[in-house]
Structure 1
Amino acid sequence: MIGQIIKDLRRSKKLSQTEFAKIVGVSQTTVTAWETGKAEPSSSAITRIADYFDVSTDYLLGRPEKKLSSEEQETKDLKKFLENNLDNGMTFGDGKVTQEDREKLEIALTQIFYRYHDEFKKRKEEKGGFKF
């Protein structure tokens, strides 16, 4: 099962086995063995693969992932957005965003998120559902 998942992920990125092997730090023969079910990756390889494809190790192992409540999921997504965008050389127009700007943006986005989230929750409770 893990072999098929790795193969599907690798193909989704249009990587050859050789290219993927270099990324993960193993031989192409090892990748072939994983994908054909003749061998299984070590725990450290599983971690590197999960990190590269931005999936959980549970996903790679074919285990059902724990479902987060919608509130936890929204918070997680906001945090990921902020980490991925505010700390990676963000620019605005032609200007570089400074550390102070990033901190202000993080505060503003967080406030907007929670204001929207509370309003959305309130409307949903009042109307028994909310449609966009």
Structure 2
Amino acid sequence: MLGERLRSLRVDNGKTKEELSIYLNMTVDAYSRYETGKRQPGIDGLIKLSIFYRVSLDYLLGRDDIKMPVFDRENVVSYRDLVELGV
């Protein structure tokens, strides 16, 4: 499931295996193994892929079919901030 998701996301986003391997600091062959299911990324790799594609880890791992966006913490206003602003 993970390999299929990675391939689909890569193709849908117009990226190459070379681009992903550079981003993940690995060889193209090593990245290709992710897509074929012969190798699984560690948690750090999963997080990087989630950020790169702006999808949730649950989506990557096949636990959810909805591509939940990853929120940039710097751009999310907290409830406390809103209260302080009097909103």
TM-score normalised to the size of structure 2? Answer: 0.71
Which residue is equivalent to 1:72? none
Unaligned runs of 5+ in 1: 67-78, 85-106, 112-132
Which residue is equivalent to 2:45? 45
Cα distance in 1 between the residues matched to 2:25 and 2:50: 14
Report the 3-state secondary structure (helix = DSSP H, G, I; strand = E; otherwise coil) of the residue aligned with 2:39. Answer: coil
Q: CA RMSD in A?
A: 2.5
Q: Which runs of 4+ in 1 moved over 2 A?
A: none
- Inter-CA distance 42–13: structure 2 relative to 1 (3 Å threshold): same
Mapping of residues 1-132 of structure 1, within 5 Å: 1-64=1-64, 83=75
Identical-pair percentage: 25
Looking at CA atoms only, which structure, 1 or 2, has the larger radius of gyration? Answer: 1
Q: Deviations over 1:24-70 (max 9, x none)?
A: 2221111110111111111110000001111111110000279xxxx
- Inter-CA distance 65–35: structure 2 relative to 1 (3 Å threshold): closer
Which letter does structure 2 place at the counterpart of 1:40? Q
Displacement of 1:14 in angstroms is: 1.0
Which letter does structure 2 place at the counterpart of 1:44? D
Structure having greater relative contact order (Cα 8 Å, sep ≥ 6): 2
Aligned pair count reads 73
Cα distance in 2 between the residues matched to 1:25 and 1:57: 20
TM-score normalised to the size of structure 1? Answer: 0.49
